């Protein structure tokens, strides 16, 4: 939570956020929480810089928590929305659920609940799919991957690209734990989600 507040303060003090700015909520886990690197190096900070550079009038509320699950995120979403209703929400969740081998029906139900709340509040949703390593077995991996495809269709939300596409398979771009990307990978992460996000930015830009 301290890292999130620090990130918001950083953006406010930069002079780039005005009262007219819309909000992008990032509801995610350690991949978006700058795990193992500084906040300034993370892809979320790089996103704010790109938004300013390209003159998109959006501020970022980074509600990412390392180790977060879909269940936990669903439970805390109400408190987040008490302070700010986002115009766009990026959901990057499910990886920790999958790594724990949770039932795919439970993961899907939690994500659907999160999406339903956000849509009700008028937020556009960018759903970032997660992938699992091969040692989890093909049957479980397929069911897990299908969660995101099905939700994008049934909930009518935008499906993004795997945020670690082209990164997870490159050891030089991953930290020693083999799970979290390095500082050098953050720009690539932003590039992976940017095309679909930019489409939503244009749709919501006044």
DSSP state of 181: B
Residue 154: CB atoms within 10 Å: 11
Residue 171: CB atoms within 10 Å: 10
The catalytic residues are: 30, 177, 180
Q: Across the chain, where does the E strand assignment appear? A: 22-28, 58-62, 88-92, 124-127, 158-159
Sign of CA dihedral 34, 39, 41, 42: positive
CA–CA distance, 157 with 159 (Å, rounded to integer): 6
CA–CA distance, 175 with 181 (Å, rounded to integer): 6
Residue-by-residue DSSP string for 187-204? HHHHHHHHHHHHHHHHHH
Q: Across 22-68, where does the E strand assignment appear? A: 22-28, 58-62
Residue 60 Ramachandran class (φ > 0 left, ψ -120 to 50 alpha, else beta): beta
């Amino acid at each position: 939570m301290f890292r999130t507040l620090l990130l918001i303060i950083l953006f406010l003090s930069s002079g780039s956020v005005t009262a007219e700015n819309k909000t992008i909520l990032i509801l995610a886990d350690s991949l978006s929480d700058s795990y193992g690197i500084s906040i300034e190096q993370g892809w979320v900070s790089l996103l704010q810089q790109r938004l300013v550079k390209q003159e998109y009038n959006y501020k970022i509320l980074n509600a990412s928590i390392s180790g977060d699950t879909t269940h936990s995120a669903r439970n805390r979403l109400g408190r987040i929305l008490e302070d700010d209703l986002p115009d766009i929400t990026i959901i990057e969740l499910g990886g920790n659920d999958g790594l724990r081998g949770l039932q795919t029906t439970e993961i899907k139900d939690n994500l659907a609940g999160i999406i339903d709340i956000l849509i009700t509040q008028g937020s556009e949703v960018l759903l970032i799919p997660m992938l699992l390593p091969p040692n989890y077995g093909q049957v479980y991996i397929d069911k897990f991957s299908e969660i995101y495809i099905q939700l994008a269709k049934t909930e009518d939300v935008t499906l993004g690209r795997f945020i670690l596409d082209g990164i997870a398979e490159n050891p030089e771009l991953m930290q020693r734990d083999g799970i979290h990307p390095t500082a050098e990978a953050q720009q690539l992460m932003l590039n992976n989600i940017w095309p679909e996000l930019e489409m939503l930015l244009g749709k919501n830009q006044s």
